Amino acid sequence: SNSAQNRIRSSSSPQFSIMLLSNSPRRKSALRRSPLTTIPENDCCVIPSVVDDRDAASWIESERTLRQLPVLHRRIELDCLARLHAMSMARTCAVFHSVSSIESLQKLLRSEIVGENLQRGDSVMAMHRETMRAKDSINRANLLSSAFTEFGSATTVGKDGKVYCCHLFRRSASP
């Protein structure tokens, strides 16, 4: 069954949860060069799933279009950060947050209004259906929030066979 991490509320953001990743240009550059990343054998083997990433992004767009919400602009920077976090979760076969403050996430994403959805499940489609079915889901609220203007998305398969998904959201600093 799918599981989503509990979220924290903030007055500057509709709903969110927090993470912190290495923001080194070297690591981001390596991710852009390599479509397949593996972790040493004693860790979970992590296989990024590009097809699922596109599916997850297209389902977000479809849900927002259906409700006549503004389009979210996909950002490579946010995709890279989401990929690093999804890989980190898959490596440990657990869903978790790396930091405990909204300020850390705001600094990382360079925005006052930020959000993150984390999930683990059998497939991207199953996680998406579960998210949209739960009317009080924080993940659903983030996907449909008009407070955000940009997003990044990544999915990764862990050694446990589960798909680990990370969506990052922010309001862009410029209009």
Instruction: Give pLDDT tens digits for 141-153.
Output: 999 999 999 999 9
**Which neighbouring-strand residues pair with 16?**
8
Amino acid present at 126? A
Average pLDDT over residues 35-45: 35
Residue with more model confidence, 107 or 37: 107
Name the pairing type of β-strands 73-74 and 150-157: parallel
The whole-chain average pLDDT of the chain stands at 74
Measured in whole angstroms, the distance separating CA 10 from the mean position of its chain's CA atoms is 18
Other Cβ atoms less than 10 A from the Cβ of 15: the count is 20
Question: pTM for the complete prediction?
Answer: 0.70
Convert the pLDDT of each residue in 64-101 to its tens digit.
999 999 999 999 999 999 999 999 999 999 998 756 67
Burial letters for 57-71: b for 16+ Cβ neighbours within 10 Å, e otherwise? bebbeebbeeeeeee
42, 139 contact by CB (below 8 A): no
Convert the pLDDT of each residue in 111-161 to its tens digit.
999 999 999 999 999 999 999 999 888 999 999 999 999 999 999 999 999
3-state secondary structure of 126: helix
19: left (phi over 0), alpha (psi -120 to 50) or beta: beta
Distance CA 55, CA 173 (A): 27
* DSSP-based helix, strand, coil % in the chain, nearest 5: 40, 20, 40
Strands (E), the chain: 3-4, 8-10, 13-16, 47-48, 73-74, 114-121, 150-157, 163-170
